[in-house]
Amino acid sequence: MNIRLCKKNRFGSTNEIGIFEMRESGLLEVENPSEVFLEERSSGVAGSTVVASMEGTRPVLVEIQALISPTSFGNPRRMATGIDHNRVSLLMAVLEKRVGLLLQNQDAYLKVAGGVKLDEPAIDLAVAVSIASSFRDQPTNPSDVIIGEVGLTGEVRRVSRIEQRVQEAVKLGFQRVIIPKNNLGGWNIPKGVEVIGVSHVAEALEYALRHK
């Protein structure tokens, strides 16, 4: 499948993206981009999380992948595709200082599947959970979506348009969404999904990496 991502260059927000598929008849719009981005996701693998990100006015579900492994070099490597490199370094520092994960001697490779670039704070919590999941070699729940901004003290901060994000998760069949605790009020939670509010990244890890 040949997927093209195109950004606007005038008239309104330039953060809007158009997603098209190249076929014999030409470029055709992809009606459900979240489904396309997640269709090849492997379940039960450590280091994988799903986040609901806003691309302009559209919520899109994408997979964030992390691979954490002991370094073979003097200085550990930090590589990120689709996520700002400085954001990854900041979140690893928060996990080390506030959660106690010893990451200073670990190489870190992060990627947003599907070639999407994510640059909003609401992806922080999903990135942090991906890193912790790979480091502990504990898979996340494949039916979870994780949303939230992470502060320097490890607190999980509210994000915008939470209702749209959760509705997109429900539409794709996800059964649980982990969100900032301060986002719980003022909107109606859709039926068929469990919404969990967390106030600290350590609390989010307890839910995301807990298995019955």
pLDDT at 212: 46
The more confidently predicted of residues 56 and 88 is: 88
Banded model confidence at residue 57, pLDDT cuts 50, 70, 90: confident
Contact criterion met (CB below 8 Å) for 193 and 169: yes
The pLDDT tens digits of the residues spanning 31-56 come to 565 666 687 788 789 999 999 999 87
Res 27 pLDDT > 70: no
pLDDT at 164: 96
Res 111 pLDDT > 80: yes
Res 109 pLDDT > 70: yes
pLDDT at 12: 54
How many angstroms separate the CA atoms of 65 and 208, rounded? 15
Res 17 pLDDT > 70: no
Enumerate the domain spans of the chain: 41-208
The pLDDT tens digits of the residues spanning 140-191 come to 999 999 999 999 999 999 999 999 999 999 999 999 999 999 999 999 999 9
pLDDT at 56: 79
Q: At 88, list the tokens.
A: 């990854």
Contact criterion met (CB below 8 Å) for 49 and 126: yes
The pLDDT tens digits of the residues spanning 113-145 come to 988 899 999 999 999 999 999 999 999 999 999
DSSP string, 144-202: EEE--EE-TTSBEEP-S-HHHHHHHHHHTT--EEEEEGGGSSSSPPPTT-EEEEESBHH
- CATH number among 1.20.1630.10, 3.60.15.10, 1.10.10.60, 3.30.230.10, domain 41-208: 3.30.230.10
Contact criterion met (CB below 8 Å) for 140 and 129: yes
Instruction: Determine the distance from the C-alpha atom of residue 108 to the mean position of all C-alpha atoms in its chain, rounded to a whole number.
Output: 16
**Percent of the chain residues topping a pLDDT of 90:** 71
**Percent of the chain residues topping a pLDDT of 70:** 82
